[in-house]
Amino acid sequence: MGFIIFVIFLSLVFSLFFSKLKKGKLGQLAKLFRIASVVFAVSVFTYWFIKKSVIGVVNNSLSLQVINKLPQPLDFYVINVNNLDKKTPLETKHIGKIRPEYYRVEYLKMNKSDEYWVAGYLGKKNLVYFSQHSVPNKNIDQMVEVQNYINQSEKLSAIAKKEIEEDNYQNMVMGIWVTLCFLLLFLNFVLLVRKK
């Protein structure tokens, strides 16, 4: 998705420059390019936001319910350990902040995996919970009750912490690019519909 966002950004920047061309055949081509850029950007972002908003129920997925029994809200992440694909051995998902006595449900694709990790953060950087879970039977949904502050493996939790920090950094960078694209999209749209 990062490459598509970069293409949208470039096309919207060029569209702003092309807004100065107004006369002749070149002006018509420039306006056509600007309209196509705006329509393409709106289409991609609409598809992306709908896809992100829909609940991630996937065929042949494993349902994981994480219940917070601790007295404080924790920010939870699930890391799916991919055994077959060595290029992407870990897949990080942010479940979200779970209040005490509440739960969240996440759906994991386990066709290439038989293990997942659950990490809980108190604040931004304080990893207070880490557990490792194997999945012997992928037809039985999983439930993890977080009842105390534990770290089952210092070595694996260090790997998980690094992976989560990398995922958060990538999401922040993507957020900056998307914000810039929205700003350019707004400017291009205003220039297109503005009357002389």
* pLDDT tens digits, one per residue of 162-175: 999 999 999 899 99
Q: For position 85, what pLDDT does the model report? A: 65
Q: Is the pLDDT of residue 121 over 90?
A: yes
The residue that leads in pLDDT, 53 or 29, is 29
AA letter at 68: N
Is residue 106 a contact partner of residue 119, using CB atoms and an 8 Å limit? no
Q: For position 186, what pLDDT does the model report? A: 92
Question: DSSP secondary structure string, 161-178?
Answer: HHHHHHHHHHHHHHHHHH
CA angle 52, 167, 162 (to 5 degrees): 155
pTM of the shown model: 0.80
Q: Is the pLDDT of residue 196 over 60?
A: no
SS3 category, 191 = helix
Close Cβ partners of 171 (under 8 Å, ≥ 6 residues apart): none
Which tens digit of pLDDT belongs to each residue from 62-116?
888 999 999 999 999 999 888 766 667 788 989 989 999 999 998 888 888 888 9
Which 8-state DSSP code applies to residue 139? T
Q: For position 16, what pLDDT does the model report? A: 86
On average, the pLDDT of the chain sits at 87
